[in-house]
Structure 1
Amino acid sequence: MMYKISGGKQLKECLKTALEHNLSVLISGPPGCGKSEITAQAAAELGMPVDELRLYLMEPGEAKGLPDIRDDATYWTRPNWLPLPVDGKRVLFFDDIHLASEQLQSPLFELLLCHRLHGHETSDETRFVAAGNLSLHSAGASELLAPVMDRFDIAIEFSPTVEDFIQYATSRNVSSKISAFLIAYPEFLYDPDPPTSQKFHSPRSWFTLHRVLSAGYDLNIAVGVVGVNAGAKFIDSYPILGKSINDLLKSKPESVKDQVVIAAALSRHKPNVKVLDFVAKRLTAEAQMCYVMGEMTFNFDDIYKLADHPTLSRITDELLKKMEGK
């Protein structure tokens, strides 16, 4: 069992507490969900440099040092990645730990236990964090050895949330059309069991899609960035997502899902009387829920307008209580 965390904010706070108290952490989560980025943010906010390592790219001698025979005794050379005792407080981050073979995992036994590897010490102030996708179905994965797992103080199972993605995406000027799409289709934020040899949707691939489209590529390239299913749905929804607020208010959605996409597209804009009346009178309860969630994400400062609305106040209060509970 692992401690389950949803959302980057909660993971970052958990990591900061662990780093402050020198507790080693293992993070498991789907690829492309921000484990490395969040670890770097947590360390940076504490003023700790991060040494990022990928054991699976190393030869065994690189990972644990090479034997050196001197005076009829065997010694081991110091791996160049191992911080010196004088290096002080820093984070050793082992990324994609699930791709390291059992042989390459072996240096972690001694390192996690006593900050030492074959007699070569590192500072007691060195922090250890490892991340990977420990799902049994992960492509190319090796099982994490039980003694290694046991030596981590905390094991976390992480899943991203649309709310955290959108807030971070907004700070990076990612297209609000992508964010609105994910409000309408949160199931396309990430794939918990991604396929092999195919593109798939993840927070990282949505950021990539923004960069690719900004470079001038045709919209149809989406299937080659976020995968066939998410890409096709994004292409299908794009005409609605790109409409002006006036055109959205003139829409006559034929299906429930069209209503949800319209609601998500409307939530990109500041709420006004016309928009709120349209949502309350023309959209289904599911679409209304989507709209309120979008406004809470895009325009939280204006949420009081929804809380005072006779039809939307109940949904707004319900979502605010859920937010407070988190």
Structure 2
Amino acid sequence: MRATNLITVINSLIEQRVPTFLWGAPGIGKSSIVKQIADERNIGFIDLRLALMDPTDLKGIPFYDKDSHTALWAPPAFLPRTGEGILFLDELNSAAPSVQASAYQLILDRKVGEYELPDGWAIVAAGNREGDRGVTYRMPSPLANRFVHFEMDVHVEDWRLWAYKKEIDEKVISYISYRSEHLFTFDAKSDVKSFATPRSWEYVNKILKSRVSNELLLDTISGAVGREVAVSFLAFAKVMHKLPDINTILDNGSGEYSDEVDVLYALSTGLVSAYLKEGSDERLDNLLSYTMELKSEFAVMIVQDLQRNGVRMEHSAVFKEWVKKFAYLLA
């Protein structure tokens, strides 16, 4: 299931306190979308790694109650007491079976011993699939039956929408738009240590913002996404100097045009990113006017990217003309 659809479904299941499990390959953003849901709902988020715990850790520790002359249990501080939020059991199936078993009651009955999960908290878990070369244990059937299960897919358009919102470097967004097959190159049958995933492209974004010298850039990016992809990405990045001035296009509605596909991908991303950072009605009209003479598939891609990022165009007279010209591509 696509990330955008998963977000919708998980939001609905959270309302009903239905435990949810996300399966998927490493690095595709399972943890990120759960954190995103919590942030957008403005609720708490606790990331609990059962793989780092012993079977008794969830229950807490016993202490002697002198009034009742019995042993009571002090629940662990990492479990929530009040409010609303998501208790996220990340990499749940990486925990030993005995630790997974200790979570049965928490997931189904929302309590462990004397501790009860507050009504405002929902449980979401995630893990890699058994064939993903990760450290995983087969999930016991009683535990599996306590969840609604989804498998998360990698989808380029979902990633691009996320990347614009996170202000990922334009070169990275442009490259993935151009070579979408390089967003995710993980092969469970291969022993390579570095491969491209949405997570490792986020590392590339940080590498580009770091002080790594040009001489070391190839080796550094190779460590994130693999040598072949890194070579291809850096070759693509060199076309950025061929771009017409982005601000001139947005301020005047005019600029040079190119027939080179890699340049057009970079230009399209550059225009969208610049407008999202500093947009206005006048700049929107100028941008739409410029795209009227652009290759049709790139004109449509620019407008659709803007719309996916919440830009409204219905009020623009230029947009009405734009629709007349490109309506046949929007059907």
Q: Same fold (TM over 0.5)?
A: yes
Structure 1's 192 and 241: CA in aligned 2 closer, same or farther, altered over 3 A? same
Match of 1:83 among 61, 79, 82: 79
Question: Does the Cα contact within 8 Å between 2:243 and 2:263 map onto a contact in 1?
Answer: no
Q: Does 1:279 align with 2:308?
A: no
Question: Does the Cα contact within 8 Å between 1:180 and 1:241 map onto a contact in 2?
Answer: no
Comparing 31-40 and 114-123, the one that deviates more: 114-123
Q: How does 1:148-159 map to 2 (within 5 A)?
A: 148-152=143-147, 154-159=148-153
Q: How does 1:211-226 map to 2 (within 5 A)?
A: 211-217=206-212, 218=214, 219-220=217-218, 221-226=220-225
Question: Does the Cα contact within 8 Å between 2:91 and 2:127 map onto a contact in 1?
Answer: yes
Report the alpha carbon displacement of residue 204 of structure 1 after superposing the two structures with TM: 1.9
1:322 aligned partner:
none
SS of residue matched to 1:212: helix
2:156 aligned partner:
162
> Take 1:127 and 1:242, find their aligned partners in 2: how far apart are those partners?
49
Structure 1's 250 and 297: CA in aligned 2 closer, same or farther, altered over 3 A? closer
TM-score (norm 2): 0.74
Question: Does the Cα contact within 8 Å between 1:19 and 1:43 map onto a contact in 2?
Answer: no
Structure 1's 276 and 265: CA in aligned 2 closer, same or farther, altered over 3 A? farther
> Take 1:306 and 1:135, find their aligned partners in 2: how far apart are those partners?
49
Question: Does the Cα contact within 8 Å between 1:190 and 1:203 map onto a contact in 2?
Answer: yes
1:314 aligned partner:
328
Match of 1:173 among 167, 171, 178: 167
SS of residue matched to 2:152: strand
Report the alpha carbon displacement of residue 164 of structure 1 after superposing the two structures with TM: 2.8
Comparing 205-214 and 215-224, the one that deviates more: 215-224
Question: Does the Cα contact within 8 Å between 2:63 and 2:74 map onto a contact in 1?
Answer: no
> Take 1:121 and 1:143, find their aligned partners in 2: how far apart are those partners?
27
2:91 aligned partner:
96
Match of 1:186 among 168, 180, 185: 180
> Take 2:324 and 2:221, find their aligned partners in 1: how far apart are those partners?
39
Q: How does 1:253-272 map to 2 (within 5 A)?
A: 253=260, 259=261, 261-268=262-269, 269=271
1:236 aligned partner:
235
1:292 aligned partner:
300
Match of 2:102 among 97, 107, 116: 107
Q: Percent of aligned positions with the same letter in both sequences?
A: 23
Comparing 61-70 and 37-46, the one that deviates more: 61-70
Counterpart residue type for residue 91 of structure 1: I
Report the alpha carbon displacement of residue 95 of structure 1 after superposing the two structures with TM: 0.8
Structure 1's 123 and 313: CA in aligned 2 closer, same or farther, altered over 3 A? closer
Question: Does the Cα contact within 8 Å between 1:295 and 1:303 map onto a contact in 2?
Answer: no
> Take 2:41 and 2:99, find their aligned partners in 1: how far apart are those partners?
30
> Take 2:146 and 2:211, find their aligned partners in 1: how far apart are those partners?
48
Match of 2:6 among 5, 11, 24: 11
> Take 1:19 and 1:50, find their aligned partners in 2: how far apart are those partners?
13
TM-score (norm 1): 0.75
Report the alpha carbon displacement of residue 90 of structure 1 after superposing the two structures with TM: 3.1
Report the alpha carbon displacement of residue 100 of structure 1 after superposing the two structures with TM: 1.5
- Structure 2 unaligned residues grouped into runs of 5+: 247-254, 272-285
> Take 1:267 and 1:252, find their aligned partners in 2: how far apart are those partners?
13
Question: Does the Cα contact within 8 Å between 2:21 and 2:126 map onto a contact in 1?
Answer: yes
What is the aligned residue count? 291
Match of 2:51 among 48, 56, 66: 56
Aligned-residue CA RMSD in angstroms? 3.4
Report the alpha carbon displacement of residue 44 of structure 1 after superposing the two structures with TM: 3.2
Counterpart residue type for residue 21 of structure 1: Q
Match of 1:36 among 31, 36, 58: 31
Counterpart residue type for residue 300 of structure 2: V
Structure 1's 67 and 228: CA in aligned 2 closer, same or farther, altered over 3 A? farther
* Deviations 1:32-67 (CA, angstroms, capped at 9, x unpaired): 222222212222333431211111122333245568
> Take 2:99 and 2:17, find their aligned partners in 1: how far apart are those partners?
24
